[in-house]
Chain A
Amino acid sequence: MSESDKATAWKRLARLTVLRFNTGWWFERLAPLLVAAGLTAAIAIIFLRARVEALDWVPVSASAGGLLLLCAIGAFFLARRRFISTSQALVRLESRLHLKNALTAAENGIAPWPSPPAEHRVQDGFAWHWPRLLAPFGIALLVVTISLAVPVTRVEGTSELPPSEPLAWEQMESWLETLEEEAVLEEDATKKFRDSIEALRERPEQEWFAHSSMEATDTLRDSLNHEIRQLATETSVAQRNLSALQAYSAQMSEAVKAQLGAEFSEALRNLQMNELSLNQDLMQALNSIDPSKLGQLDSLSSEQMKQLQEALKKLSDACKQCSGNQPGLGKGFSEDETALMKKILGSCNKPGAGNCNKPGQSGITRGPGTAPITMGEEQRLNTDNLEGVQNPDFSNALPADLMGLGVTEHEIDETLTGPTAAGALNSNGQGGEAIWRDSLLPEDKAVLKRYFK
């Protein structure tokens, strides 16, 4: 084999080594990009499956291919600075084959090329680390497969919930509907309040709960509530006085009748001035009544009077119902709250619940419970009188016992310690102790301690 043939053979082997080594680095740099690309593709696939009924595989495949190409190019640029040359591969080969740098010398023209190995297998000592090599591909493939297999709920356009409006509007509308159902108010009596509610509702949704809007709502609700309560009060007074005059006119004194009549007339005036005006028929019927003649003249038939009273009672109940549903306006406890109170009060005098009849005194069963049962009377242990015990026999005394007192002098250590300043001892000792203190570094001390342990 000629020198050129040997050189060609060795360089071919070196190029194979270069290819394997550089590909190894390329795969190493590709791995994280591949996993990242797999995750990105999986997210994109899930996103598309949620929005598109049937995936068009052509653009999807093209995108995946483009992504892979980008990863491959990126990995090449990242791995490039670690690539080796043919000369370095020759050094690797001569090192593995124990050629004592003969290939490098031959490449530089110093020595002849050695004979290439008989077997053309590359003996560079490198082998693929398959688990490390295939893991990124496996992970990327697995992630993409999962994204294709996992069930995805289709997203049908936007399904935004209608914005909720302030509860007070709904409440006011409910009151107005209750009043309107009784059909005793003028048709347009509630219009003003409904218009106001609509005006609030027509404002932008994001302003419904703004401070100004809530203030206006509260004011409107207070106003409506006031009108309803006044309506309830006046109709109640009118209905009560009308009933009393109708039934007991004969037994009443003139003064009482005059007072009741004045109250009735006052109630009618107030009802006329109320924003929630009664319908014309009812107002006319009420206006036509002369309270001074009630019970004496049959100005109205008993049937008519009964219908009138029922109309007033229905309106009064409806108004009370409206105003009674609003908390904090002096209505007292609602039925639910009353039931709750009864429930609470009903639990009095039960074990652990206290005595309702003795507020602040607590109940007889309050506390840790019944005292534990004892099996008999306690014995008196006579612990009031304590007597000292003396032991004159010091031979058996315990170490801490006082055996006697005497007068002695302090033992003073007269070893020279040198002048001291601010409490510091200037003498560093002698011999090994001085070396230990002055010469050895902390790490030396640690080593010596470890050594002599």
Chain B
Amino acid sequence: MPLSDDDLRKYASEITRLKDALQQILFGQEHLIEMVVTGLIARGHILLEGLPGLGKTELVKGLSKALKLENKRIQFTPDLLPGDITGNPVLQETPQGREFVFQPGPLFANLVLADEINRASPKTQSALLEAMQERRVTVLGEAHELPAPFFVLATQNPIELEGTYPLPEAQLDRFLFKLEVLRNDAATLQKIVTGRELGVEPTLEPVMESSELAAIMNAAREIYLPEVVANYIARLVDASHPGQSKTAEGIKFGASPRAALSLASAAKSRALMQARPNASFEDVKAVAVPVLQHRIILDYNARIDGHTNRGIVEALLAEVPSQALETPPTIKETAEV
């Protein structure tokens, strides 16, 4: 049952309000906000990478305020233990005697801000795996469901910095998007300096109830994914594997099937944000870089030659045509208008 035009317009309007609200607290990062909202609607976890002080934490806090969701912040440090984020059983006096009672950790929130996730040890990083994939944590053999919706928005500093541990590939694959937070230009900085005061958090009124967010997320699933678009996604992901395309010569390991699912989900979300009943090639191209760039692993030669994951994904987009149509040599392609 396709979505009606009215539904599409209503959901798109609500999403626009959310984006506008976020732009009130984070100036000059329209594309970043667009992508974060897209990831949110696609029920994905997001990894934000950028230097300190660029507004990553502010964005997540603003998102929780605008969505009126319970949010927790975990500052990852090298001595942080898995139990510190999942929660621990504590011995308590009860009418029945002393017994262990589970004390939920900071993961038990709708929106978890995992700040500087790559400063924690790999053991602690891995503790997030189950929470992100299964949306539950298991402590002493007992599974505890996490509240719905559950999103992890993690920030990390570039791994070249001192005291960072690169995230394991399995965990990276569980992030829908990896977004790079770039520095602002001078005009935006001037706007920030003029409108903000150090140490004073900007106020933001909620623009959406959690039920409305759930409806939007459900609507995104109803977006029609044409067969040709699904075929494009499949060819794009397949081309990321060594030997499947010219660009993949510099790739050691390609993207997983989860990457294909993520591409489809993100493309649908983007279509809903634009009030369209169907996903398109353009949607896939728009979300391909944040979806794929952290899921492919470059080989040694490519890294030495200065290739980046982003550049490789962009080369893949240029190499793989949206439609698998082999044009005869008797016909030539004209320039696009």
Contact = CB atoms under 8 A, between A and B. Distances in A.
B193 interface: no
Given A88-B323, A95-B281, A100-B283, A105 B331 contact: no
Contacts, number: 98
Given A91-B228, A95-B322, A110-B224, A101 B328 contact: no
A269 interface: no
A31 B330 CA distance: 10
Interface string A107-149: 0111100000000000101111100110000000000000000
B13 interface: no
A102 B334 contact: no
A28 B329 contact: yes
Given A100-B283, A101-B278, A101-B281, A24 B228 contact: no
A132 B334 contact: no
Interface stretch (A286-294, A346-354, A443-451): A443-451
B79 interface: no
A82 B328 CA distance: 9
A108 B226 contact: yes
A98 B280 CA distance: 10
Interface string A433-453: 000000000011001100100
A30 to B, nearest CB: 9
Interface string B310-332: 00000000000011011111111
Nearest to B223: A110
A154 interface: no
A23 to B, nearest CB: 8
Contacts of B326: 82
B134 interface: no
B333 interface: yes
Contact of A104 (B226, B283, B301): B226
A229 interface: no
A413 B280 CA distance: 73
Nearest to B276: A100
Q: How large is the interface on B (under 10, 10 to 19, 20 to 34, 35 or more residues)?
A: 20 to 34
Contacts of B334: 125-127
A415 B164 CA distance: 40
A169 interface: no
Q: Which of A88, A104, A109 has the most B CB atoms < 10 Å from its CB?
A: A104
B212 interface: no
Interface string B209-253: 000000000000000101111000000000000000000000000
A289 B279 CA distance: 137
A107 to B, nearest CB: 9
A101 B285 CA distance: 13
B228 A101 contact: yes
A84 B328 CA distance: 12
B333 A27 contact: no
6 contacts: A24-B327, A88-B325, A101-B281, A108-B226, A110-B224, A447-B304
Given A92-B323, A447-B300, 9 more contacts: A20-B331, A21-B327, A92-B325, A96-B336, A100-B278, A105-B226, A126-B331, A127-B332, A128-B330
Interface of A: 20-21, 24-25, 27-28, 31, 82, 84, 88, 91-92, 95-96, 98, 100-102, 104-105, 108-111, 123, 125-129, 132-133, 443-444, 447-448, 451
